[in-house]
Amino acid sequence: METHLELLKLFLPEILVEHFDLMRSKTEGETLHLYFEEQNKPPVEHTSKLLISKGFHDEITVQDFPLRGKRVFLHIKRRRWTDKQTNDIVQRDWTLVAKGSRMTEEFADFLKEISRF
């Protein structure tokens, strides 16, 4: 099934395809909505901690580049974890992910923006 992931990387930011699951899609006239949830893979910088998934932050919606003449909206839910020992909330540091990835400058700016919430 990796073939469909490689195909998605041609149309969507690679970082989105690698760290999020496409849960569903919906077409409404000339608009395509893609719904993503962050995978339940804790951040590598926290591998020494016992983390428990505690759901998601509020969904955000981002308009992406048009595909085949349709407007594209990405609906993204970022995951959060709780450190079982300290009860601290942990989330992925997207600035660390962005340094080692290949992405468009626009998507990197988007990730910086969502890291503030």
pLDDT at 96: 47
CB neighbourhood size of 56 (10 A): 14
The tally of domains found in the chain comes to 1
Contacts of 15 (CB under 8 A, 6+ apart): 97, 98, 101, 103, 107, 111
Owning domain of residue 66:
2-114
Tens of pLDDT along 10-34?
888 777 888 899 999 999 999 999 9
How many whole angstroms separate alpha carbon 83 and alpha carbon 54?
Answer: 10
pLDDT at 43: 80
Going across the sheet that includes 51-56, the strands are 51-56, 79-83, 89-90
CB neighbourhood size of 5 (10 A): 12
